[in-house]
Amino acid sequence: MVPGIGAASSAAERMVEGARSSVVEVSVGRRGGGAGVIWPVDALVLTNDHVVSAGRGGRGWRRGRRSSGPRVTLRDGRAFDAEVLKRDGRLDLALLRLKDAPADLSPAAVGASGALRVGELVFAVGHPWGRPGVATVGIVSGLAGERGWTRHIMSDVSLAPGNSGGPLLNASGEVVGINAMVSGGFAFSVPSDVASAWVSGFRTGRPRLGVGVVPAGVRGDAGLAVALVKAGGPADRAGIIVGDVLLGTEDGASFGGAGALFEALARAGETARLRVLRGGEEILVSVDLEASGPERAA
């Protein structure tokens, strides 16, 4: 074996093995289910909405007489009943909380889907046809926001029944998508930035800046360019303007995607201190946050 290829193969093997500890099986009643990811927010489990909709009419977890609620099985075989905290059929996401959850869960590392590029190597982990922890590999074929597929990452990883809700991983083992469906021979995954933002919003009154952002493509593809500012909102009051680039937080965290921004706001408390690039100069801006209801701006 060529030494370079052998080293890369060993690195991928270690990466996949490490990632498998955060991948769970999700089932509803006696029906086959899918996969899920232990998310690094309160040790919750993220999966697809259609995975927990296993009963008649897609509402099995709500109708206990026809099928029981979701049950989550960890990599080591321990199984726990779970409750559905939140679900979204449009995004095909569902958020679960384990009942009597153990303290030794292994949350996944979540990456920035906005940093993906077409041709990049990605891996899928799931339980196709009931075989636990199966991994497949492919490349990114198309990205969310490009013409033709506005809401999903498109790749050629191999998926089958039982993969739904499992992670799409980058070469570093970070979750960059939640595998959702197959169409035309391609796999489609919900971007991790979308999933992170959705998970962060499961608590009511989530803080927002009052801005609309797009990937900036600066400083190693990190940063979010401000495309709109809501008049009178927190960002407007702090002096953030259209054209600013939100680089990250004062503590050094970077905004590789909208999900990272939402996570930072959720952790910030009442005030967020943000690194902002304006006119080629980096400045520090303090933003007094406020809780708000659902809206499109961050």
Residues designated as active site: 50, 92, 164
**20, 93, 112 from 142: Cα distances, Å:** 25, 21, 16
Instruction: Please give the backbone phi and psi of residue 6, each rounded to the nearest 5 degrees, phi first.
Output: -65, -40
- With tokens 């050629």, the residue in question is 156
3-state secondary structure of 134: strand
**13, 143, 153, 157 from 113: Cα distances, Å:** 22, 9, 8, 16
The number of angstroms, rounded, from the C-alpha of 247 to the middle of its chain's C-alpha atoms is 20
* Cα 199 from Cα 44, distance rounded (Å): 9
Of 129, 124, 127, 122, residue with least CA distance to 158? 124
* Cα 33 from Cα 2, distance rounded (Å): 40
Residue 254 is classified by DSSP as B
Contact 120, 143 (CB under 8 A): no
236: alpha, beta or left? (left if phi > 0; alpha if psi -120 to 50): alpha
Strands (E), 110-263: 121-126, 134-142, 153-155, 167-169, 175-183, 186-191, 207-208, 211-218, 222-229, 245-249
